[in-house]
């Protein structure tokens, strides 16, 4: 057996976990920069819980609330500047994957004066500040991954920075923060988690332990996606989604993603599709492609999701995701294929896709 495993994040999952385990932050310093998006950290109640925990601990805080979806390089530089001026000892990211990823990049920039190319190429000398992560969506798993994914205009796509020093040191997962996620966001983010586990399971770097976690999360996600209206999930089900999304995050921390994410990034960059939706619309056709090299694993995914065949997986995804109503031009198709094959996660696919394979995925997903 060959096994490699890392999850250096201390994970606390359960209602009230920030309050119950706040003391974990006491050792991180006396000044924190809290990184959030426009409003959901406040509306979910997570920011208030964090602020009251910090006050009890005597930790000063400053809030940086300018993180947009699919965070830009510009935003993380602004956050890095604030962290440096404020002399933060650690960074707290609260929100969906966008604020969590921004928090990681800000943690780098707070202690490294580097150009954007150097940031993306991991050419920084000082260890990033510690990051505490509080997810308010159940999908990215960023709270347990070493990745920060940023929108990179010079590459016209999204790119990830991957470094062990970017694993959050502590993650607080409280399902109640996701209770008010609207149905569309719930579905998109759950499908994102599903694709993490699928791509981690059908992956050159998969091993026995990552398989175990991937299949556990695929089972939970398949079951919960069947709920006709994802916005009516109970608190217990919300917690399960968060658990499944965290497991999927641990999976990709070992394996990284594959063809679905590689093709999903240009769909987000050029067509503005939310990350989970971009992945979801190409999942069935991508599974068809994967089945050419590993029929057995693809069938296991289908079975564990509780479906009879790939067509049923496609129907399930179509039933929860917002329909995509555009077709790519032939020029866009060629550009997207090139971007996909240039993505570093393609190397993780057990069978390397050709241009024709990617084209087929786009056509079968009704995008071309
Ligand atoms: P997101 O981009 O963080 O947020 C999407 C929207 O959801 C925002 O409008 C946000 O509002 C809102 N929102 C967040 N929590 C909410 C809540 N509890 N109730 C209501 N609305 C809420 O979405 P995401 O799908 O979680 O993250 C996607 C990003 O994560 C992408 O950039 C993707 O590439 C990245 N990602 C990272 C990893 C990793 O390992 N690092 C893995 C997968 C994906 P506000 O703007 O007000 O906050
Ligand atoms: Zn993802």
For ligand 2, the distance from its centroid to the CA atom of residue 259, given in whole angstroms, is: 11
What confidence tens digit (pLDDT) does each residue in 2-59 have? 888 999 999 999 999 999 999 999 999 999 999 999 999 999 999 999 999 999 999 9
Contact 239, 12 (CB under 8 A): no
Residue 303 CA to its chain's centroid (Å): 24
- Mean of the pLDDT values across residues 155-164? 93
Largest interatomic CA distance in the chain: 59
Among the listed residues 363, 23, 34, 3, the one whose alpha carbon sits nearest the alpha carbon of residue 212:
3
pLDDT of amino acid 2: 86
With a cut of 90, say whether residue 153 has pLDDT above it: yes
CA distance 92 to 18: 12
pLDDT tens digits, 67-98: 999 999 999 999 999 999 999 999 999 999 99
Q: Looking at ligand 1, which atom is closest to the CA of residue 276?
A: 25
**Cα–Cα distance, 27 to 43 (Å, whole number):** 28
33 bridge partner residues: 62, 91
Centre a 10 Å sphere on the Cβ of residue 48 and count the other Cβ atoms it contains: 12
Q: What separation in angstroms does the CA of 187 have from each of 227, 281, 305? A: 10, 12, 15
**Which pLDDT does position 295 carry in this prediction?**
97
CB-based pocket (< 6 A), ligand 1? 37-40, 44, 69-70, 95-98, 101, 136-137, 139-142, 145, 147, 149, 158, 177-178, 180-181, 185, 189, 192, 275-276
**Which atom belonging to ligand 1 lies closest to the Cα atom of 147?**
41
Nearest Cα neighbor of 260 from 211, 196, 337, 335 is: 196
Give distance in angstroms: CA of 336 to centre of ligand 2: 18
Least distant ligand from the CA of 256: 1
Q: Give the residues across from 135 on adjacent strands.
A: 95
Ligand nearest to the CA of 249: 1
Q: Rounded to whole angstroms, how far apart are CA atoms 247 and 209? A: 11
Q: How far apart are CA 237 and CA 44, in angstroms?
A: 17
Interval 236-280: pLDDT, tens: 999 999 999 999 999 999 999 999 999 999 999 999 999 999 999
The DSSP result for 225-249, as a single string, is HTSS-GGG--HHHHHHHHHHHHHHH
| 146 φ, ψ (degrees, to nearest 5) | -95, 20
Model pLDDT, residue 102 = 98
Residue 260 token pair: 């679905």
> For 129-149, what is each residue's pLDDT tens digit?
999 999 999 999 999 999 999
Kind plus residue range of the DSSP H or E element containing 152: strand 147-152
Question: Residue ranges of the alpha helices (H) in 152-258?
Answer: 183-201, 208-225, 235-255
Q: Which pLDDT score is estimated for 43?
A: 96
| The pLDDT of residue 323 | 96
């Amino acid at each position: 057996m060959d096994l490699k495993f890392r999850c250096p994040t201390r994970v606390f999952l359960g209602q009230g976990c920030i309050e119950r385990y706040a003391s974990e932050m006491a050792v991180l310093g006396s000044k924190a920069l809290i990184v959030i998006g426009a409003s959901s950290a406040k509306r979910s109640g997570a920011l208030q819980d964090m602020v009251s925990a910090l006050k009890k601990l005597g930790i000063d805080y400053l809030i940086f609330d300018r993180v947009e979806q699919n965070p830009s390089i510009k935003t993380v530089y602004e956050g890095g500047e604030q962290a440096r001026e404020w002399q933060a000892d650690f960074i707290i990211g609260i929100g969906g994957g966008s604020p969590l990823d921004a928090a990681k990049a800000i943690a780098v920039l707070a202690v490294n004066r580097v150009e954007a190319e150097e940031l993306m190429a991991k050419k920084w000398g000082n260890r990033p500040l510690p990051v505490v992560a509080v997810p308010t969506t159940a999908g990215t798993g960023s709270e347990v991954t070493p990745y920060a994914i940023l929108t990179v205009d010079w590459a016209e796509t999204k790119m990830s920075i991957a470094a062990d020093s970017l694993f959050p040191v502590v993650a607080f997962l409280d399902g109640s923060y996701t209770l008010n996620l609207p149905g569309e966001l719930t579905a998109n983010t759950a499908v994102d988690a599903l694709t993490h586990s699928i791509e981690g399971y059908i992956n050159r770097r998969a091993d026995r332990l990552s398989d175990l976690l991937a299949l556990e999360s695929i089972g939970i996600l398949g079951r919960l996606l069947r709920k006709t209206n994802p916005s009516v999930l109970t608190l217990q089900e919300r917690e399960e989604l968060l658990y499944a999304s965290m497991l999927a995050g641990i999976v990709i921390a070992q394996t990284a993603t594959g063809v679905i994410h590689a093709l999903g990034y240009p769909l987000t960059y050029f067509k503005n599709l939310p990350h989970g939706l971009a992945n979801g619309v190409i999942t069935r056709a991508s599974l068809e492609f994967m089945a050419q090299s590993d029929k057995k694993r693809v069938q296991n995914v289908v079975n564990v999701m509780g479906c009879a065949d790939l067509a049923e997986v496609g129907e399930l995804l179509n039933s929860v995701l917002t329909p995509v109503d555009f077709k790519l031009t032939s020029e866009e198709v060629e550009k997207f294929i090139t971007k996909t094959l240039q993505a570093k996660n393609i190397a993780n696919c057990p069978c390397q896709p050709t241009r024709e394979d990617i084209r087929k995925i786009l056509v079968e997903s009704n995008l071309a």
